[in-house]
Structure 1
Amino acid sequence: MDFSEITEHSCEPGTSKNDDGVISVDVSSEVLVDSITEVPPDLIMNTDGNVENGEDPTRLTLAYERLYEIPRTIVERFSDHVWHLDISHNKITNLDPLVHFKHLTSLIADDNPITENCVLPPLPKLQLLWVNYCKIGSLYPWVAKLKESCPNLQYLCLMGNPAAPSYLNGGNFYDYLQYRLFVISQFPSLNHLDDRKVTEDQRAEAQRLYKRPFFERIVKPSSGGIAQLIHTPVKWSSFQSKITSLWGGKEERNLLI
């Protein structure tokens, strides 16, 4: 699958705008659509009309619709044939309905109040995930669960989240390197993280630093070992301080970027 058209914008907010060939679901600004409020029948008719006019039926956008969840009627109507879904710039926190999108290969969920407690259902075909500018405050247990749900991710964007240190949220370059290498270590098939490609040198360094014996040295024996670290929320600053102490200071490591 070719994601070059999507990734050329470097995952910046606002790049998930409607393009030619994308089904546009136009929910009236006067109606809040959720499991209580049914989707107006004319909305479904208009969407079907777009398909008849030759637009790509595998692409669906629900962006900027003030949604608190993915409408049940939309799931029932489109989940069987949608491969590319855009739910960005809404108020969605529950991603469970995505389990019905069996063919989903790309999901754009930027600017939603998604936290580290918001877990994606199993999406084994998902290759691209954008969750920029959400509310993900910790890499744990979110990254471990994301790895279980989406083991074949190739493109992942987390920019603007508290758990992704960068100059966008007050993090320094060293924080960013540690975060980047850790995420790369969790996804063997990852080709692009945030605004940069994953290099072979980065992948090798990530595997060397974050292999299991290294993790076991970070976690105290009394804390429950590696399982405790992965399945319990941990602030990145605390995790980083342990890594720094093991490395003997920032100056002794020449991390690759």
Structure 2
Amino acid sequence: MDDDQSYIHSYPSVQPPPDEGVISVDVSRDVLVDSMTDMSETPIPPDIIASVDMTNENEEENGRLTLAYERLYEIPKTIVERFSDHVKYLDISHNKITNLDALVYFKSLTSLIADDNPITENCCLPPLPKLELLWLNRCKVASLYPWVGKLKESCPNLQYLSLMGNPAAPSYFNGGTFYEYLQYRLFVISQFPALNHLDDRKVTEDQRLEAQRLYKRPFFERIAKPVGLSQISSSATWNSFQNKITTLLGKDKPNNRNLLI
């Protein structure tokens, strides 16, 4: 490692001691070692190092780091030390990561792909004010509240968010109902004013207005005058209700049913 690279002593400890199964990285030998499974030493893919060879003329192209499918329990300290100042796009999908505290050092991060990790609602992201894209598909987030509020505090400028496949994101695929899906969608939209795209579709202005109406009113006012999907359906004919839902979902034709909800 170059002399001008300083060791990050304050890097948070997020895993048990090395003898309890933490994957370690030895860049001097370019290998990953997993003491839990006693797997043979596996070479680090060359693109992990080469793709983040930060040169002035190629910084925009090389600010991408992929650690997908590496059987990691945490983001290795060596990777944080070497690349955190420069990486803008980080892919840590398909690993065993449950704690994202190490991301506090990725000051330039704008895109994070963390699909297929056992991340739950107990995992809070550190402050990432530059983060615009976050994918947490097929993780283990089971409850939106208060997790979404904490996510908003950490990532206030999110424009693209995908939570598909989580228990907290109802769909027909995980046993959710149509109403649960719509309530989930409007609640998440209400928390992120700059959000342009949620899950598999764009956020429409109608959805933003409805989210504001349902979830931005004072808490006690909502209790006194509850307004929800059940009230909408009971106070309107089916045709008007269907038109309302069609508008909220950004459909041009009522018959174009979304199979993902």
What is the one-letter code of the residue matched to 2:138?
Y
Q: Is the alpha carbon distance of 1:134 and 1:50 closer, same or farther for their aligned partners in structure 2, counting shifts above 3 Å?
A: closer
TM-score calculated relative to the size of structure 2: 0.70
In 1, the alpha carbon distance for the partners of 2:63 and 2:166 equals: 29
Q: Is the alpha carbon distance of 1:87 and 1:248 closer, same or farther for their aligned partners in structure 2, counting shifts above 3 Å?
A: same
What is the one-letter code of the residue matched to 1:185?
S
- Residue equivalent to 2:36: none
What is the one-letter code of the residue matched to 1:216?
F
Percent identical among aligned pairs is 70
Q: Secondary structure at the match of 1:37?
A: strand
Q: Which has the larger radius of gyration?
A: 2
Give how far 1:142 is off: 0.7
In 2, the alpha carbon distance for the partners of 1:51 and 1:160 equals: 31
Unaligned runs of 5+ in 1: 1-31, 221-240
Q: Is the alpha carbon distance of 1:89 and 1:248 closer, same or farther for their aligned partners in structure 2, counting shifts above 3 Å?
A: same
What is the one-letter code of the residue matched to 2:207?
Q
8 Å contact kept, 1:147–1:187: yes
Give how far 1:103 is off: 0.3
Equivalent pairs, count: 205
Task: Pick from 89, 93, 96 the counterpart of residue 101 of structure 2.
Answer: 96
Task: Pick from 62, 65, 71 the counterpart of residue 60 of structure 1.
Answer: 65
Q: Is the alpha carbon distance of 1:122 and 1:152 closer, same or farther for their aligned partners in structure 2, counting shifts above 3 Å?
A: same
Higher mean Cα deviation, 182-191 or 48-57? 48-57
In 1, the alpha carbon distance for the partners of 2:137 and 2:220 equals: 31
Higher mean Cα deviation, 168-177 or 131-140? 168-177
Q: Is the alpha carbon distance of 1:51 and 1:141 closer, same or farther for their aligned partners in structure 2, counting shifts above 3 Å?
A: closer
The ranges of structure 1 where at least 4 consecutive aligned residues each deviate by more than 6 angstroms after the TM superposition are none
Task: Pick from 212, 215, 220 the counterpart of residue 216 of structure 1.
Answer: 220
What is the one-letter code of the residue matched to 1:178?
Q
Q: Which of the pair has the greater relative contact order for Cα pairs under 8 Å at 6+ separation? A: 1
What is the one-letter code of the residue matched to 2:172?
Y
Map 1:78-227 to 2 at 5 A.
78-213=83-218, 215-218=219-222
Unaligned runs of 5+ in 2: 1-18, 31-43, 250-261
In 2, the alpha carbon distance for the partners of 1:45 and 1:128 equals: 25
Q: Is the alpha carbon distance of 1:178 and 1:51 closer, same or farther for their aligned partners in structure 2, counting shifts above 3 Å?
A: closer
